[in-house]
Structure 1
Amino acid sequence: MPPVEDVSQLAKSKQAAIKLMAESFKILQQAGGELPGREVVARLRTRVSFNEWELEVSPKTGYVRWEAIFSFYTVDSVKAGFLRKNKGTWYLTAKGEKALALGPIKLFEAASAAYRKWEQENKPTKPGPDTTAVETLDKEQFQKANLEAQALGGIREFIAAKNAYEFQDLVAALLRAMGYYTPFVAPRGKDGGIDIVAYQDPLGTTAPRIKVQVKHKPDAAVPVDDIRSLKGVINRDGEVGLFVTSGRFTSDAEYFARGADGAYSIARPE
């Protein structure tokens, strides 16, 4: 695609994609680099001005046109390494932050070029459907592409509706379903920093013995200091720490946990 100088020369779908891509990157940047994908879409609804065409329901997909366009073009950002998606959460990479500084048009061009390069290097042996325009996606294809995101969104809403003790019990039940024994689940009140203790055998003689801290804050990010606090109660050989949150972890918290000699793990309901 030649360099774009006048956006009005482009197809309507690409005009929409340019503003949506840039604004979504800004939303992620302002949120510290990560957000659930559904939250990115929710914030776009309030921050972007849409024209009538973009707000129409597409006859091909059965979805609001701008939402279909945005979903379609995030693939370009992922293939370019600007955006990473993992189980419903979207991450703006360092490469993506750098690309954002190019401005909306050049950001779109860079993502599109990266996708074309990836497509050429990964051409299917059999011809697939023409996906050069959003309108070529039929309703069934679009529904399949969004099914996982919708299911994950429903799970997150179910968990968010729980209180702190119900969420803690849910985590303990999940550990038992995985084959662990949970001889200790903290009662209401002070727990000394540990909410659940899990063993591989009834007596806890087999390593690892897991000390679990649970934090139920769906709209908050767990800071690195909370992970460090868990480290302070891991004091025996064969013990590992597991921190479970209904929200997110800051990048510093994730970095600390991953660099802690494999003795700590973090988990969120995605």
Structure 2
Amino acid sequence: MNNDLEKLAPSKQSAAKNLFATFEILKNEGGQLLGKQVIDKIREKNNLTSWEKEVYEKTGYVRWESILHFYTIDAIKAGFLRKNKGIWYLTEEGEKSISLGPAKMLETASKLYRSWAADKKDNKSLKNDSLENEPIELEENQTQSQKANLDLLEEQAIAGIKEYIRSKNAYEFQDMVAALLRAMGYHTPFISPKGKDGGLDIIAYNDPLGATTPRLKVQVKHRPDSSVPVDDIRSLTGLLNKDGDIGLFVTSGVFTSESERSARESHRHIRLLDINIFIELWQEFYTKMEDEDKNMLPLHSIYFLGSND
């Protein structure tokens, strides 16, 4: 395995080594993890060279991180990896590719990416290019570098939002949930006061009087470092005792697979929002919020040149 890596150019050595570590990390973490956390774990796991740790003067990015983000595009087009809202997901094909080892894994991903690019551009000559040749320099492959940089910026943004939410106390997060519901058009006549323990945290109506359905009964858990167990979902189900009641469970962490299954199979309508869905909805409805609600989790939008790929 090491001999195969030594035959590669420095940029590909770095890519193969760190992409392989990425897949192993994701597999060990149940198949998904925040991109920033993947980077942090690679920094601890792999022996990075001084060359890899150098910072690009033009962008300010660390070399190995830029190379990794660049080659994750190959992995995505190969079907080995998915990214969404800063979260990296290992696919079934990606998990199988671990058995190939670092060099062969990267070669396979690059071949599949070039095949995809050739089909997309109807340029068959790309399929016949030898992957033994030195790849196009990151700075020269503008489209892929641009996509990689945008992914990196998005991951940094999501990580910053999550860290901001983490710094809030349970009641502040509860107020954020109520603000999101108001932006979505609901009225929130009841928000659990400080000191109250158990029961419902928020009740939300379609109209000021709660005369029309659906009526949302909401439980909120500020547990950024843990998973919500199935017993908590069952407790919410027991509080849905009127026709038209919908249970909404919001957490600053995630749900166990058993919790998700319980919500899907429940005879009552239960909707689960983990931290990733919460952030996605906050971004979507942010412009509809009152200024006071926006200030609970303020965002600033910046537009970058995109890509047609």
TM exceeding 0.5: yes
Question: Which residue of structure 1 lines up, in the alignment, with residue 71 of structure 2?
Answer: 73
The within-5 A match list for 1:153-232 is 153-232=159-238
Question: Which residue of structure 2 lines up, in the alignment, with residue 25 of structure 1?
Answer: 23
Shift of 1:37: 1.1
Specify whether residues 141 and 106 from structure 1 end up closer, same or farther in structure 2 by C-alpha distance, changes over 3 A only: closer
Measure the CA separation in 1 of the matches of 2:60 and 2:31.
31
**SS of equivalent residue, structure 1 residue 206:** coil
**SS of equivalent residue, structure 1 residue 184:** strand
Shift of 1:263: 2.1
Specify whether residues 249 and 88 from structure 1 end up closer, same or farther in structure 2 by C-alpha distance, changes over 3 A only: farther
Shift of 1:145: 4.2
Q: Are the aligned partners of 1:60 and 1:137 in contact in 2 as well (CA < 8 Å)?
A: no
- Would you say 1:268 and 2:274 are equivalent positions? yes
Question: Which residue of structure 2 lines up, in the alignment, with residue 52 of structure 1?
Answer: 50
Letter in 2 for 1:157: E
Shift of 1:171: 0.8
Measure the CA separation in 2 of the matches of 1:212 and 1:124.
52
Specify whether residues 242 and 11 from structure 1 end up closer, same or farther in structure 2 by C-alpha distance, changes over 3 A only: same
Measure the CA separation in 2 of the matches of 1:219 and 1:20.
26
Shift of 1:91: 1.8
**Runs of 5+ unmatched residues, structure 1:** 126-130
Q: Are the aligned partners of 1:13 and 1:134 in contact in 2 as well (CA < 8 Å)?
A: no
**SS of equivalent residue, structure 2 residue 209:** coil
Shift of 1:190: 4.7
Measure the CA separation in 2 of the matches of 1:33 and 1:251.
13
Deviation sequence 1:9-50 (CA, Å, 0-9, x none)? 212111111111111112122222221111111111111111
Measure the CA separation in 2 of the matches of 1:121 and 1:261.
47
Calculate the TM-score normalised by the size of structure 2. 0.75
Specify whether residues 155 and 210 from structure 1 end up closer, same or farther in structure 2 by C-alpha distance, changes over 3 A only: same
Specify whether residues 14 and 226 from structure 1 end up closer, same or farther in structure 2 by C-alpha distance, changes over 3 A only: farther
Specify whether residues 226 and 37 from structure 1 end up closer, same or farther in structure 2 by C-alpha distance, changes over 3 A only: farther
Shift of 1:230: 2.5
Shift of 1:55: 0.8
Letter in 1 for 2:86: G
Shift of 1:175: 1.0
Question: Which residue of structure 1 lines up, in the alignment, with residue 137 of structure 2?
Answer: 133
Measure the CA separation in 2 of the matches of 1:237 and 1:124.
56
Letter in 1 for 2:25: I
Report how many residues are paired: 262
Letter in 1 for 2:110: S
Q: Are the aligned partners of 1:61 and 1:142 in contact in 2 as well (CA < 8 Å)?
A: no
Measure the CA separation in 1 of the matches of 2:224 and 2:25.
18
Deviation sequence 1:64-87 (CA, Å, 0-9, x none)? 100101111111222222222221
Measure the CA separation in 2 of the matches of 1:186 and 1:84.
38
Question: Which residue of structure 1 lines up, in the alignment, with residue 11 of structure 2?
Answer: 13
Shift of 1:150: 2.3
Specify whether residues 102 and 217 from structure 1 end up closer, same or farther in structure 2 by C-alpha distance, changes over 3 A only: same
The within-5 A match list for 1:103-142 is 103-123=101-121, 132-136=136-140
Q: Are the aligned partners of 2:86 and 2:151 in contact in 1 as well (CA < 8 Å)?
A: no
